[in-house]
């Protein structure tokens, strides 16, 4: 079978990872600018915040090269491009005075995409929180909800005459857990669990009010979604017992483990925190967060659930319900050392739809490879092609079962600044020489062009 007739084939990127122009045309600093420029060496690890001391100051210079980049997207044949907005390019202080130059950039980018026949999917927050607001407490401050809504309203007023697809937050669990609990990325905090739950709650409230704001002020009919990652699991066999065990593991919040999917999607779609999770964290979870009016504010109707899926953990049934299966010796892995687990694209969309009854879009999927320009001037990345082929084959199976998966966004459109790994990991369909900014379409980009053109019919093994 081919994919559904109107299946959305796209690729994704994020503002801080590709734009550069960090201090140009009035843009203010975000927490990632501050984090990158803190060169303090950790005595325990012997490293600074970012590998090689890299920063996002220039990144892929997309701020100046967006026309070239959109032309390459068109050459690949993308139907959609998922981008994010830099909050501090619009509001340098996070609130207050609007930076017209910042809005002009996104105006021009959206126009360029539409002229190329590429639908913009805009993510409103992809981790680059304004430093000025961080000084006021960030998500720990109850006012953060209204700060975010102020920013969202400005963007909607400016772009919603042309943009019809919006995503509020990208991977909030990474932003909160890694950045606010573990202190291993920006803003490099180590909050208590009580403080983390409070920050989570404010973020959820910001999501809910943002959805209301988008729907109130949009200038065209629109669709609104949310894009967390998930506690990615898959059954080690397709037996009914293992599938049921994996389904249970996917949403089991009974352990003191904040990564579980239920913590990050249940409040947004079901209007409640996971009961077993609240019980597990009873001594730390503020009961005030269970207020009915807050949960009603958080739980606003959505049009789709975006989900970022890369790797997973095998699950098998046991007398206790389920156990995590160890990876086989010498397991297949990416350059990032992530296991290659295509079955998550068969089972996680299925599990998510069964629980949340929401159409699914794969908002990120891809891998890092050790890519370079070969002597023939090309970039040969056969493992990326094989990886994407395997994952898309599994996705086709869940679609064939009737699960409404409406789109797939490859991560990422180009090699970029990969957060704490700096420029050491290459996820792109387009190779970027970060010294010259030369772009080279990889073999996978041409392969993806064929996938898009045939609507997936040329997948090997379909």
411 annotated to bind ligand = yes
The reply to whether 418 sits in an annotated binding site is yes
Q: How far is CA 295 from CA 134, 291, 332, 410, in A?
A: 25, 6, 42, 33
Contact indicator for 369, 426 with CB cutoff of 8 Å: yes
Residue 296 is assigned to a ligand binding site: no
> Cα(331)–Cα(134) distance, rounded to whole angstroms?
41
Residue 171 designated active-site: yes
Calpha distance 214→207 (Å, rounded): 10
Residue 17, annotated ligand binder? yes
Nearest to 168 by CA among 120, 228, 119: 228
Strand order in the sheet with 313-316: 233-235, 313-316, 323-324
Annotation marks residue 195 as catalytic:
no
Q: Which listed residue (19, 171, 394, 425) is catalytic?
A: 171
Comparing CA positions, the residue from 129, 255, 261 lying closest to residue 185 is: 129
Give the end-to-end CA distance of the chain in Å, rounded to a whole number: 7
170 is known to lie in a ligand binding site? yes
Whether residue 293 is annotated as binding a ligand: the answer is no
Contacts of 275 (CB under 8 A, 6+ apart): none
How is residue 362 written in tokens? Answer: 């794969």
**CA gap 266, 259 in Å, rounded:** 13
Number of H helices, E strands in the chain: 16, 13
Contact present, 315 and 323 (Cβ < 8 Å): yes
Confirm if 322 and 236 have CB atoms less than 8 A apart. Answer: no
Other C-beta atoms closer than 10 Å to the C-beta of 22 total: 23
- What is the rounded CA–CA span in Å between residue 85 and residue 396? 31
Q: Where are any strands of DSSP class E within 184-324?
A: 223-227, 233-235, 304-308, 313-316, 323-324
Find the length of the chain.
462
CB 161 within 8 A of CB 222: no
Pairing of strands 430-432, 439-441: antiparallel
**Cα–Cα distance for residue pair 451/182, rounded to 1 Å:** 40
24, 143, 244, 364: which is the annotated catalytic residue? 364
In the beta sheet, which residues pair with residue 96?
A: none
Across the strands, what pairs with 313? 233
Q: Do the annotations mark residue 207 as ligand-binding? A: no
Return binding residues for substrate: 17, 126, 170, 310, 411, 418-419
Return binding residues: 17, 126, 170, 310, 411, 418-419
Residue numbers annotated as active site: 171, 364
């Amino acid at each position: 079978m081919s994919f559904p007739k109107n299946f959305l084939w796209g690729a994704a990127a994020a503002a801080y990872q590709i734009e550069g122009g960090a201090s140009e045309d009035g843009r203010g600093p975000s927490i990632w600018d501050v984090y990158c420029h803190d060169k303090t060496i950790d005595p325990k690890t012997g490293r600074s915040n970012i590998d090689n001391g890299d920063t996002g100051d220039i990144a892929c210079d997309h701020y100046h090269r967006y026309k070239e980049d959109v032309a390459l997207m068109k050459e690949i044949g993308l139907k959609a491009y998922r981008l994010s907005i830099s909050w501090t390019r619009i509001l340098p202080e996070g609130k207050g005075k609007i930076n017209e130059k910042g809005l002009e950039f996104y105006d021009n980018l959206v126009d360029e995409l539409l002229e190329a026949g590429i639908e913009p999917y805009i993510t409103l927050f992809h981790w680059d929180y304004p430093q000025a607001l961080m000084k006021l407490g960030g998500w720990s401050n109850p006012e953060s909800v209204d700060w975010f809504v102020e920013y969202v309203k400005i963007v909607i007023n400016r772009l919603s005459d042309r943009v019809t697809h919006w995503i509020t937050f990208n991977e909030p669990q990474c932003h909160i857990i890694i950045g606010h609990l573990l202190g291993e990325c920006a803003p490099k905090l180590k909050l208590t669990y009580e403080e983390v739950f409070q920050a989570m709650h404010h973020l959820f409230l910001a999501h809910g009010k943002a959805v209301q704001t988008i729907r109130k002020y949009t200038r065209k009919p629109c669709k609104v979604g949310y894009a967390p990652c998930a506690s990615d699991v898959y059954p080690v066999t397709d037996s009914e017992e293992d599938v049921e065990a994996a389904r249970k593991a996917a949403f089991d919040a009974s352990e003191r483990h904040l990564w579980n999917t239920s913590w990050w999607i249940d409040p947004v779609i079901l209007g409640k925190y996971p009961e077993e999770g609240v019980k597990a964290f009873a001594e730390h979870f503020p009961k005030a967060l269970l207020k009915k009016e807050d949960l009603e504010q958080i739980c606003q109707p959505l049009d789709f659930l975006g989900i970022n899926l890369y790797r997973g953990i095998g699950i098998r049934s046991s007398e206790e319900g389920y156990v995590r299966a160890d990876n086989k010796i010498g397991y297949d892995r990416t350059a990032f050392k992530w296991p290659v687990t295509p079955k998550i694209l068969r089972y996680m969309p299925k599990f998510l739809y069964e629980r949340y009854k929401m159409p699914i879009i794969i908002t990120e999927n891809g891998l890092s490879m050790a890519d370079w320009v070969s002597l023939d001037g090309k970039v040969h990345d056969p493992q990326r092609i094989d990886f994407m082929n395997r994952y898309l084959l599994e996705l086709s199976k869940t679609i064939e079962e009737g699960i409404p998966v409406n789109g797939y966004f490859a991560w990422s459109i180009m090699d970029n600044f990969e957060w704490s790994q700096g420029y050491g990991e290459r996820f792109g369909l387009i190779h970027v020489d970060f010294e010259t900014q030369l772009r080279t379409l990889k073999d996978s980009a041409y392969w993806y062009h064929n996938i898009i053109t045939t609507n997936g019919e040329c997948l090997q093994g379909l």
